[in-house]
Amino acid sequence: MSNWLKDNISKIKDALFKTRRVIACYDPAEINNESININDEFYNDLFERFIKADIGAELSEEIVSNLKKQIQNQKIKEIDFKNKVKEVIKNTVGAGASSPSIQHDTNKLNIFLVVGVNGSGKTTSIGKLAKRFKENGAKVLIVAADTFRAAAGDQLLIWAERAGVEIFAPLEIKKPDAVVFSAIEKAKKENYNLLLIDTAGRLHSQTNLMDELKKIDQVIVKAIHELPQQYEKLIVLDATIGQNAITQAELFSKAIGLTGIVLAKLDSSAKGGVVLNIMNKLSLPVKLIGLGEKIDDLVDFNLDEYLEGFFM
């Protein structure tokens, strides 16, 4: 196993500590060769733990019922049981589990529009992405399209400085879609190849804000339709809110059509099972997970690594 992969898994394990404590029917600190007694009570308890971790009722039921079919013995070694659960989850979640990682194409203009409700982690995730893609050779421009809140630009500036990239935050332009239009013009002129667009933390119940978002989307589609381009519409969801994340993704998806999910704050959440629920319920890939507040705390989502951190 490469060092990079080892680092990743240990980060994910740390981040999923709280969720793991909810899930584990045994002492998570000890993986041992003891046998555990599998009976109906055990399965009921497991089901409740899945629910607490926000895997969702339907999916939890399906996983438990598939487990019952596969584990005939009353007694099974803990380690074998954990491996079985991982395998069953993987098979139950199925095709939605493959999440192509997020790339920037050096021969294209790459535009990542980042949306989500207040405080979900948009600005932080943009800072993290900026650093990562800069290191991969992209010419990155962070675009401050949250023109509603005065402090939003300051916070973005701090992240741009941390990542060592440029920021576009013209004070004279008041409309978010106009900021985005100008940013694309600037990108064309100055050969930026990755725009990371930060938007206001709009409450999905506020239709005027959703309308603003639609306008931004239209401006982008119009401005880039003849360019070689990659356009990603990413929603940042807060993993600590569990099930509500699904409703949010559905609403934003309806408004602008999303291409992927960034699940932030997995480290602060005891509801990390929501990843599985999201993959099962929405046909949207979880592309990235946020594992902390620091600039390197964002990794590509990989189901195997995640399940490793979830149970081990």
Ligand X SMILES: Nc1nc2c(ncn2[C@@H]2O[C@H](COP(=O)(O)OP(=O)(O)OP(=O)(O)O)[C@@H](O)[C@H]2O)c(=O)[nH]1
Q: How many residues bind Mg ion (CB under 5 A)?
A: 2
Selection from ligand X, Mg ion, none that 265 binds (CB < 5 to 8 A by kind) is ligand X
Cα separations (Å) of 164 from 35, 145, 184, 185, 226? 53, 19, 20, 22, 30
Under rule CB under 6 A, residue 120 binds ligand X? yes
Establish if 292 lies at the interface with ligand X (CB under 6 A). yes
122 touches ligand X (CB under 6 A): yes
Is there binding between residue 119 and ligand X (CB under 6 A)? yes
Q: Which is nearer to Mg ion, 85 or 173 (CB)?
A: 173
Looking at the Cβ atoms of 243 and 268, the one nearer to ligand X is 268
Cα 87 to the center of its chain, rounded Å = 22
244 lines the binding site for ligand X (CB under 6 A): no
Question: Segment near ligand X (CB under 6 A), from 19-27, 35-43, 104-112, 260-268?
Answer: 260-268
Cβ distance to ligand X smaller for residue 79 or 158: 158
Size of the site for ligand X (CB under 6 A): 20
Please tell me what DSSP assigns to residue 193: -
User: Does the protein bind ligand X through residue 118 (CB under 6 A)?
Assistant: yes
Of 63, 141, 152, 235, the residue at the interface with ligand X (CB under 6 A) is 152
| Separation of alpha carbons 70 and 173, rounded Å | 61
Q: Which does 169 bind (CB under 5 to 8 A by kind): ligand X, Mg ion, none?
A: none
| DSSP type of residue 109 | E
Identify which of 64, 38, 37 has the alpha carbon closest to the alpha carbon of residue 49: 64
Residues comprising the chain, all counted: 312
Over the window 55 to 74, marking each residue x when it contacts Mg ion by CB under 5 A and - when it does not, the resulting string is --------------------
Binding part of the chain for ligand X, among 58-66, 89-97, 137-145, 288-296 by CB under 6 A, reads: 288-296
Q: Which of 56, 176, 242, 290 binds ligand X (CB under 6 A)?
A: 290
Please state, in angstroms and rounded to a whole number, the distance separating the CA atoms of residues 249 and 52.
21
User: How is residue 112 annotated by DSSP?
Assistant: E
Residue 145 sits at φ, ψ, to 5 deg, of -95, 10
Residues 157, 105 contacting (CB under 8 angstroms): no
Q: Which residues contact 44 (CB under 8 A, 6 or more apart)?
A: none
The verdict on 223 binding ligand X (CB under 6 A) reads no
Return d(Cα 72, Cα 63) in angstroms, integer. 15
Q: Which of residues 95-134 bind Mg ion (CB under 5 A)?
A: 122-123
Name which of 23 and 145 has its Cβ closer to ligand X: 145
Alpha-carbon span 267 to 250, nearest angstrom: 24
The CA radius of gyration of the chain, in Å to the nearest whole number, is: 21
Binding region for Mg ion (CB under 5 A): 122-123
Q: Which residues bind ligand X (CB under 6 A)?
A: 116, 118-124, 152, 201, 236, 264-265, 267-268, 290-293, 297
